[in-house]
Structure 1
């Protein structure tokens, strides 16, 4: 069932989004060679709780941490570990979710640690731009296919591929609500967007092919061909005019 949010619910989701954005900025500032992904996880949980919220991911379907940290060929859902040390040249995706007074915010970004080749920086920039293209299409009267098409067109024009096995999602009183928001599609198809709908738009883009696989841990998703992957996400409110990014300033 598609739920349109009331003004009260939107106010709470704005605060959840503000908390998520602030935490993601702090994590980006802390990211450096030598830090472990467990260090980042502890910092995130402390910051989320100090802001009066709860980590959205911790315990979700058994997930053991407060954030997801996915490195290099890992696409999404990487589990933080004291044994995973960030190194110069790594590409690190950090996904943050918070629950504030019963409502969720969700955002992710991918960062290059230190010096990386220009093609790696281009992967990150194209993925970020594809998110912006998807958000620009998230207007009342448009359809879900318009969002996916905007993302896919930008990514594939740059020679990269969109992950098809995972998608964005509705968000509100649950972290994952209807509808699914694929990062590919045909314009003019799918659910018509209406004011009050809140969705998480999250392109996952691979430097190589779009195929992915899941590690034996049951969570970590990585590219089949070993190519690098990038992931950017915002929580977005459909309005009567321009879409409102509830996690604005996260990256």
Structure 2
């Protein structure tokens, strides 16, 4: 059975799993579902058609599932889905989807949204993602597994961030960041590969070397369009899973351009 503090307001219809703890002054709406073992510390508000997986830890003054900050939103029945083992710290805000983005915002398992971070409408966030304090993720952003966004960084609307990428603190990311990429700067440039993250997660040396060579072919000095370079990298280094993932990401394309090294900077600082 849930453990609900007397000062909390839990609307009829809300579904709380076994062992859920609802602390003082929390408010939970009628269409909310919270998985077993989760804990809402105090002053947490969860509204809308929101589903939160098992063992979530949600800290004071988080606002989860309130209507999106999109002036086109007209009250459509959109959803917010958060996976298992979420860590949601103080003052975090997460919004559901809109009609223009598929009516759902999704956050995977084991994600950490640290104090003051914001996830806007229609975002798709993978598993094991960390948003450090005051990260701002605009609408329609896609973030792959194991991405880390440093404190105070921001992602522009419709940006794609590939798996295992790292966005430095205070970085403004306006364009797509390749998987395993490292973005830095107030207006982000591609500063190399996230080699530290690759090593920490146990990727083999041979796979990292292949990725380094492909990165230089893609973003180093030389002639040819990005498409030409992608094709050349696929031919030269195809068969390496990491390289294949970067090639697939670039070929898929998106609404934004690709984050590249600044002019005059080497394309292989990873």
Given the two structures, how large is their TM-score scaled by the length of structure 2?
0.30
Structure 1 or 2, whichever has the larger Rg, is: 2
State the structure with bigger RCO (CA 8 A, min sep 6), 1 or 2: 1
Given the two structures, how large is their TM-score scaled by the length of structure 1?
0.31
Structure (1/2) with the larger helix percentage: 1
